[in-house]
Amino acid sequence: MMRVLIAGLLLAGASTAALAADPAAGEKVFKAQCGICHSAVKGKNGIGPSLFGVIGRQAGTEPGFHFTADHKKLGVTWDTATMEKYLANPRAMVPDTSMTYAGLKDADKRADVVAYLATLH
Amino acid sequence: MRSVRMRLLGALAVGLVSLLSLVKPAEAVPSFASQTGQPCSACHIGSFGPYLTPFGRAFKLSGYTLGGGDGLASEIPLSGMVITSFTHTASAQPSPPAQGFYDNNNPALDQISLFLAGRVNDYVGGFVQGTYDGVGRAFLWDNTDVRVSTPINLPSDTNLRLGVSFNNGPTVQDPYNTTYAWGYPFASSALAPTPTAGPIIGALIGNTLGMTVNAWYDNSLYVEIGAYGTQSPALAKMLGQYTYPGTSVGPMPYARVAYEWDWSGQAAEVGGLIFNARLQPGGIPGFGTDGYTDMAIDGTYQFIGDGTNTVSILGIFTHEIQHLNSSVAQGLAGTTNGYLNQFTATATYFYEKTYGINFSIQKTSGSSDAVLYAPAPLTGSNNGSPNSLGLITELDWVPFGKNDSWAQPFVNMKFGLQYAVYPQFNGGGSNYDGFGRSAGANNTLYAFAWLAF
């Protein structure tokens, strides 16, 4: 019962964080941390793939970028939930990822970044 | 005696860099790995500094501010480094190269360094290196680069980052390994002779103070301008800088442009830089100044792929224009107007980020000057020429530094076996120094073990 209650509180917390996610704040985090490797411009790959349109895209399919095997076989279409999970600990979800980033530990900032990514269409 | 001293001053004045090998920069900073939560291999070709990957360059250009690591270790900006070595030259040197060493076959504790290296906040980061030089047996203030960096919001969503660097030598702040502070060889013997002449810009690393501002546009175009001044002779001495070409007169301007492409696990760069210096040789006033203008073009190609096979090529050509008015007035040089060209190119292959091989060509040529490049045992020139050719082959083994390595990211090691061949040394092949020594006598075997923690 207690576990259910805790899980319920966590879900509520996550939901609240998602609702409160701020794309403008996420853009700042993106430019400070993600932007050194990723662009938000369509088709502009760099050290990492362009993140324009990443929410709604199948993982490992950005044209012109060389993805690792685990990325290609991940089999997910990025949505806010999977992207949040990935950003929390990229290597846990994609063991051979070439993304040299340990993860964004702050849940609020993570939600903000994902909210910003969702605007890139 | 006076003549010998004058020649020594003259050698220092025109940026001779044989002594520079004593303070060859070296960097391997596990505290950055702790801070970012990344293995050394994320930022470094061959899993060991200072050779930067595209991500390593991005980390540097973002002011060393990227986080991501966990725990207390990620908050402690301290690292250390130890290099030990064995040096063998084809023929013994006329006298031991440093106090307490032999004329050949020298084991050495090259250096012990401590780094204060890490991020302060999202906008400020850097590193300060202090070194005990085990050959010169002295402490010195080593490489330092403290950066302020911030992303700028552009309406177009294109990335722009502006930054400022405070550092102690031109190119210490440069993100590319083509240039002088972080160029190949990344480790070299302090006990073996090396060709005498080199561009002045390389001799001003460590004994100057500088500030540069930079812009990094679209993660591709890097533009930087700034200026340097030499430390006062007293300050340089206090900080352990025994390479001191002279005292600058006025600011020494520096400008750098580079453009980088990154695509599908590959990177390429083309760039150039220009640097101007006016120096009083040896810090002696009353004879005017020596003027130098260094202009260089450089290029980089890196194939990173999935990290199984990594190929990297570095190249830089430097042209230096010299106006040695002060040196001529002091009797240190025979000709006022001269030039120096230097070309270096290095190819590196690593397998599994662990086993590496390097080939490098280092070619120097320039105008002759029988006073500036006078005959002297080992270090002189019999024909007044600075021309030299060095060919270096190096095998590397880096057992740690990967994502799944033991004690990652706190400990890393590199073992290297390097052999340098000199078909030409200070203007000649045989009797190059006027005292019967051949260039090949300086061929050097250098075995080293490099620990970073």
* Interface list for B 161-220 with A (CB within 8 A): 161, 218-220
What is the CATH T-level fold of the domain B2-452, as seen in this structure? Answer: Porin (2.40.160)
- pLDDT of A7 reads 41
If you compute the radius of gyration of chain A from its CA atoms, what whole number of angstroms results?
A: 15
Task: Write out pLDDT tens, residues A67-95.
Answer: 888 888 999 999 999 999 999 999 899 98
Query: Any CB–CB contact under 8 A between B159 and chain A?
Result: yes
Contact B306 A46 (CB under 8 A): no
Residue with the two structure tokens 């760039």: B271
- Measure in Å the smallest separation between the Cα of B122 and chain A Cα atoms: 8
Confidence check: pLDDT of A18 > 80: no
Considering CB atoms only, which of A28, A35, A103 is closest to B159? A35
Q: Which chain A residues are Cβ-neighbours of B306 within 8 angstroms?
A: 66, 68, 96, 98
If DSSP codes are grouped into helix, strand and coil, which group holds residue B253?
A: strand
Q: In the predicted model, what is the mean pLDDT of residues A40-56?
A: 93
What is the domain-level CATH number for residue A21?
A: 1.10.760.10
- Average pLDDT, consecutive stretches of 10 residues, N- to C-terminus, chain B (453 residues): 35 39 55 88 94 95 88 89 98 97 98 95 95 95 96 86 97 98 97 97 96 96 98 89 89 98 92 98 93 98 92 98 98 97 98 97 98 98 98 97 84 96 98 98 98 94
Which carries the bigger pLDDT value, residue A9 or residue A27? A27
Q: Which chain B residues are Cβ-neighbours of A101 within 8 angstroms?
A: 36, 38, 66, 68
Contact B54 A47 (CB under 8 A): yes
Contact A68 B306 (CB under 8 A): yes
Q: Are B175 and B130 in contact (CB under 8 A)?
A: no
Q: Cis bond leading into B399, ω under 30°?
A: no
Tokens of B16: 């001779």
- pLDDT of B367 reads 98
Listing DSSP states for A37-90 in one string gives: T--SSTT--SSS---TT-TTSBTT--TT----HHHHT---B--HHHHHHHHH-H
CA dihedral B255, B298, B415, B52 (to 10 degrees): 60
Q: Which domain holds residue A51?
A: 2-118
Tokens of A60: 């490992």
Query: Any CB–CB contact under 8 A between B42 and chain A?
Result: yes
Tokens of B95: 């006298």
Q: Residue A119: closest CA among chain B residues belongs to which residue?
A: B157
C-alpha angle B206-B204-B80 in degrees, rounded to nearest 5: 25
Q: Are B417 and B397 in contact (CB under 8 A)?
A: no
- pLDDT of B27 reads 58
Contact A35 B153 (CB under 8 A): no
Q: Which chain B residues are Cβ-neighbours of A103 within 8 angstroms?
A: 37, 68
- pLDDT of A19 reads 55
How many angstroms separate the first and last alpha carbons of chain B?
Answer: 46
The tally of domains found in chain A comes to 1
pTM given for the model: 0.89
